[in-house]
Amino acid sequence: MRKFIDASSIQLTPAPGGRRIAVLADLLELGVNAPRYHADLAEPIVKAGIDKVYVAGQLMINLWAALPKRLRGKKVDSVKALLPILQDEICDGDIVLFKGSHETKLFSVVSALRKLDEVRIPPTIVHAESWH
**Residue 131: how many other CB atoms lie within 10 Å:** 12
Whether pLDDT at 76 is above 70? yes
Whether pLDDT at 10 is above 50? no
Number of domains in the chain: 1
In a domain, 45, yes or no: yes
Domain housing 89: 2-127
In a domain, 132, yes or no: no
Mean of pLDDT over the chain:
85
CATH assignment of the domain containing 68: 3.90.190.20
Higher pLDDT, 73 or 132: 73
pTM of the model: 0.82
Nearest-angstrom CA–CA distance, 95 and 27? 21
